[in-house]
Each structure stands twice: as structure tokens, then as C-alpha cells.
Amino acid sequence: MSDGLIEDLRRRFRRVAVVHDWLTIPGGSEQVVLQLLEMFPQAELFTSVYDPKPWPAQIKERPVHASYLNRIPGAARQYPKLLPLMNHAFRSFDLSGFDLVLSSSHACAKNVRTPPGVLHVCYCHTPMRYAWEEGFLTGEQVPGLLRPLIPALLAWLRRQDRAGAAGPDVFVANSSYVAERIGRYYGRSAEVVHPPIDVDHFLALKRSPEDFYLVFGRVVPYKRVDLAVEACARLGRKLKVAGGGRALEAVRRSGDGSAEFLGKVSEAQRDALLGGARALLFPGEEDFGIVPVETQAVGTPVIAYGVGGAAESVLDGSTGVLFGEQSVTALAEAIERFEGLELDEQRVRENARGFGEARFRAELAAVIDRAASARRGAPAGEHG
């Protein structure tokens, strides 16, 4: 049924524009882009800054239209500093001639100008976190001369972000948590379609638990890896931290030296770590969080801060443990509670099955179909 609907959408929308904030470093939001291209192989890509080196043929072997920001020397490395210019960059794209616009947005991609009468569906990973979350910049290195300007800059970004949110015909959120924030910040409703995750790969892996806990992913301030380091030090538990980032040195200093920092690891090493950990520690507040689902697909439980997307993917007491406060004490207590549980590996794996890629394509196709039908006043599924 879903494959037939996707084929029908391809016939109805011959020219599709997929718009994404930037294409520099592969991450979770780019997996959405790859699935959009799977749904619409004829699509053309639009983005602010494009570095072709890290991308598969699925991206490189199609038209990719980068904005004028891409001509700035060093843009592929310094793109976060270009954020104040990105709204204008996306507004400068000419999308005339396209039949459907699909934006994948956590910043400014949703702000593109859509031709009159053309459907624009925005898959929103989050409203712009830099603008709306006061604590998001905590721990970030901001030059002293710029600190007094931050409140005015954030207020300006919020105005731009809210104005751009009027453009899409339909918002799709990656979690109920993000849907609530879209309603609060933009005054728009949003359907929820959880992001696509390659659960089949992880379901096929063997679980061989060892005596260590794991933190996996970028080590940046808001992910609160320091809490995991300090909690494991307090309890005398072994901890491995896989990943690098700008907060790495600060996190190293937060513990007693017992945590093992592995840096960036290969996919094979990742798989072995996920399958070997007693549990994944996930103390940050995420809009969704892909790693907890991948971890559960291996059969490994997750101990997560119970705010944000993890509260939608981790079943407390069944596939892991949720804790309610971002503190060392709360995480340490959650670890001790976890160690008193007997969780079923197959139940943990089964929970992850509902987050696969085919499910994402089917659910998003249904959203596009309903939106297109609503525009022309026909019931969804009645395709002319």
C-alpha cells in the first residue's frame, strides 16, 4: 500500500525540491534527506553550504544547488558562524517550476519562498534551538566582546524564525516533544513522524554484554556527558565515551580519570560497543535521539534523561530507565535502579522495530497525500 502511494506521489509531483539547512557533516537530520531522496529520486537539492566529500552517490549524483554562502572561503567548516545570513540565503532561491517543496529544517531551510499554489511540507527536526532555548549556549565558548550582543541577536533570530514558520503548508515533527514546541513558538500544529533509523542493521547484531556503561555521540555541552562521567565515578562503574567534540577536554576534567575516552570510532567499533555495553547512558535533552533507538535494536537497554525524544523511544522499566533531573545524583540513582531490573533482550529489540526507514517513508507519504488532497478539496487517497 505505502509503496503504491509513493509511486503515485512520484507521478503527481514530477519536479520536487528538497531543501536542507546545510550539507557538511553527516548526522541524523541528513538521514531524513536520504529518505526523501529515496521517496523522490528525481528531486533536486537546495542547501546553504555544501561540501560534497562526505556524501554518498545518492546526493553527489544529482543537482545540488548551494547558496551564495558556499562561495565564502572556509564556509564548509565555519557554517555555524553564517547563521545570521542563512535566512536571506534561503529566501534567495528561485523554486519556480517545482511541483512540491520538502524542507528538512532545524534552522532556516523552512524559510524558502515557495511558488504560489505549490505544496510545502516541512519536516521540522526542531525550532531553531540557538534562538529559543536560553540554556542551549551554556558551556559554549562565546568571545567576551560578543556576549553583550547575544540577547539582541537571539531576539532577532527568534523574529526571523517565527516569520519563516508562516511559510510551510504543513509541519511534520520528529517527536511529540518537538510538535509541542512548534505549537508554542510558531503557533502551528504539527503531525508527528518519528525519524528514519536503520534498525535492521542493528537488529542483526549479536549482543555480548560486558562490564561497562557507554556514552556514544558528539561531546558537546548540551549533551551533558559530564553527568555520566561523574555518576560512574561516584558509583565506581566503568564508563567508555565514544565520540569527540568541543566539550571533550572539559568533560575529561569533570571525572576522576577512570572513564575511558575512545574518540571517534569506526562503524564496526560502534557496533561492538553498542552490543557490549551494560547500558547506554543518555543524559542530554534531545529533540528525538537516534542513538537510543539504535542501541535498543541491538538489545542493549538505555538509561536516559526522561525529557524530549528519549521519553518516546525508551520504555521505563521495560527497555531501560528514565530519570527526571539532569544531575549526577539522579543519574547515579537511575543506574542503581537499572542494575536491580531484569530486562528481556527481545523486548528491548522489539521496541526498536517501530522506528524503521520503511515506516518513515510510509507515514510521510501519507502526510503528503493528505496535504495535497486537502489543497484541492479531494479526500486523501483519491488520486486524479
Which CATH number covers residue 290?
A: 3.40.50.2000
Rounded Cα distance between 92 and 113, Å, is 8
Q: Indicate if 168 and 218 belong to the same structural domain.
A: no
Rounded Cα distance between 345 and 297, Å, is 9
Residue 187's identity, in one-letter code, is: G
Q: Indicate if 363 and 326 belong to the same structural domain.
A: no
Q: Indicate if 350 and 360 belong to the same structural domain.
A: no
Rounded Cα distance between 233 and 120, Å, is 49
Q: What is the pLDDT of residue 140?
A: 47
Q: Indicate if 345 and 366 belong to the same structural domain.
A: no
Cell of 358: 520503511
- In degrees, rounded to 5, the angle at the alpha carbon of residue 107 between the alpha carbons of residues 127 and 85 is 140
Sign of torsion over alpha carbons 11, 14, 18, 23:
positive
User: Considering the domain boundaries, does residue 207 fall inside one?
Assistant: yes
Residue closest to 122 by CA, chosen among 161, 79, 83, 78: 161
CA 301 vs. chain centroid, Å, equals 20
Q: What is the pLDDT of residue 121?
A: 98
Q: What is the pLDDT of residue 143?
A: 55
Q: Indicate if 190 and 278 belong to the same structural domain.
A: no
Residue 378's identity, in one-letter code, is: A
Count of helices and strands (H, E) across the chain = 17, 13
Q: What is the pLDDT of residue 134?
A: 66
3-state secondary structure of 142: coil
3-state secondary structure of 310: helix
Q: Indicate if 53 and 93 belong to the same structural domain.
A: yes
The residue segments making up the domain with residue 276 are: 199-354
Question: With b meaning 16 or more CB within 10 Å and e meaning fewer, what string describes 313-325?
Answer: bbbeeebbbbbee
For the chain, list the strands marked E by DSSP: 16-20, 44-47, 64-66, 100-105, 119-124, 170-173, 191-192, 213-216, 239-242, 260-263, 280-282, 302-305, 320-323
Rounded Cα distance between 172 and 309, Å, is 15
Rounded Cα distance between 265 and 274, Å, is 12
Q: Indicate if 176 and 221 belong to the same structural domain.
A: no
Cβ contacts of 110 within 8 Å, gap of 6 or more: 19, 103, 122, 124, 164, 165, 167, 168
Q: Indicate if 170 and 211 belong to the same structural domain.
A: no
Rounded Cα distance between 95 and 114, Å, is 6
Q: What is the pLDDT of residue 154?
A: 86
Rounded Cα distance between 97 and 231, Å, is 56
User: Considering the domain boundaries, does residue 384 fall inside one?
Assistant: no
Q: What is the pLDDT along the chain (384 residues), one digit of tens a residue?
A: 578 999 999 999 999 999 999 999 888 899 999 999 999 999 999 999 999 999 999 999 999 999 999 999 999 988 888 988 999 999 999 999 999 999 999 999 999 999 999 999 999 999 998 788 766 555 545 555 566 777 888 888 999 999 999 999 999 999 999 999 999 999 999 999 999 999 999 999 999 999 999 999 989 888 999 999 999 999 999 999 999 988 999 999 888 889 999 999 999 999 999 999 999 999 999 999 999 999 999 999 999 999 999 999 999 999 999 999 999 999 999 999 999 999 999 999 999 999 999 999 999 999 999 999 988 765 555 443
Q: Indicate if 71 and 107 belong to the same structural domain.
A: yes
Q: Indicate if 337 and 372 belong to the same structural domain.
A: no
User: Which pTM value belongs to this model?
Assistant: 0.87
Q: Indicate if 142 and 207 belong to the same structural domain.
A: no
Number of domains observed in the structure of the chain = 2
Q: Indicate if 23 and 159 belong to the same structural domain.
A: yes
Tally of CB atoms within 10 A around 237:
20
Rounded Cα distance between 329 and 280, Å, is 17
User: Considering the domain boundaries, does residue 383 fall inside one?
Assistant: no
Q: What is the pLDDT of residue 380?
A: 56
